[in-house]
Each structure stands twice: as structure tokens, then as C-alpha cells.
Structure 1
């Protein structure tokens, strides 16, 4: 079976790559030197892999140059926290606040209790 990166491309694919590069240049994502370099590589491309490599650091765009795919910035992992994680992040601060307000140490017992409840609610218990 042939790897998709090794499939040969024709003139329509090269033209489409040039159009997309022009959109990225117009949007300011490429400086003039990068744009010219990538245009030359697109014109000389023989395989899909060579064309795809021109766009690895660029977002997907539609024909109007609008970003259609959002990626987190390089080095930034997308975080999706569930409510129990948020609660567990706040409970220690609440416990400290209640301790300072009342002088009762047992407010700190909220921390492990909240952890057990959060684990149960997440279905991991």
C-alpha cells in the first residue's frame, strides 16, 4: 500500500497550494522571504508530502483566507477541565478562608472529603 505522502500531484494541486500560500501571505502569516521560498517549493513539488510540508505550521483557511481550524499556540496544551477539577482547585482556598474566619482547624477536612466526592462523581471510584 502506498503512503499518501508519496502520491504524485499534478498542476491543479500545485495551483491550489499557491493560492493558499497567497492567502496566508496576505493575512500576514508569512513574511516575503518565506512566501517566495514556499512558492518555489510548491511549484517544484512532486508529491503530496512535499505540498503538505508547506502548511504544517499554518492554520487551515477557507477560500476567503478565514481560519477554519483553530489550534493552540505551539507549546500550549489545550486544557479542558471538568467541574470537579475546578472544585478541587478551589476547595483548599475555601478551607483556608474558613479556618481564618472561624479559627476551627477541621475546615481542612473539606479537602479530602471533596476529593472523594469528586472522584465518585467522575466515575473513577
Structure 2
């Protein structure tokens, strides 16, 4: 996230931010509630300033990720499952519609796949 702060973010920028958030969550630097809140902010970020603001109280990532990321699909599945759970629960609690509950089920399946692959 070292581009110009006012440049609009791409989907790849958001994915990198979500990966970094997930790393901080997995190391215990942020709680589940903070992870959910910051994940929603990542999805709504429009420029690099807004993404950078989410990491001001967190240390820099430990280095560049390896080039071959094909083995990381379970981790990406977990990040997407956490986002689906947050969205599903938000709509369920906010609007009372149970049609969002399948998102939570999909997220649980994703977490189960991720845990079994470790």
C-alpha cells in the first residue's frame, strides 16, 4: 500500500489488505470484532489513505509473500468465510431476515475445509 494516498484502490489492493488483517487476527493483535469492523471498512475503502488508516496501530507485515501462492487457497477461503459470516450475521440481526443464514453455513464449511487442510 505504498501507492499515492489519493489513488482509488483495486480489488487486488483490498485482497492484500484483507490478507494483512487476517494475519494480524491470527497472531492475536486484533480481536474478532475488530477484524469484522476493519474488514467491512476495507470493502468500503475508496482510496489508499482509507486503507492505510486501518493499519496505523499495527506493525508492518513481516515481508513479501512468496511468489507461489497456490498453497494459500485455504487461507483465502477462511478470509472470505469470515467476511460472509460478518455480512450474513449483520443482515440477520439488522433486518431479521433468515435468508442470510446460508452465508453463515457456507462460512462454517469454509472454515472446516481450512482447518482440515492444515
* Structure whose residues are more often helix by fraction: 2
Instruction: Report the TM-score, using the length of structure 2 for normalisation.
Output: 0.49
TM-score when normalising by structure 1: 0.47
Higher RCO structure (Cα 8 Å, ≥6 apart)? 2
Greater Cα radius of gyration, structure 1 or 2: 1
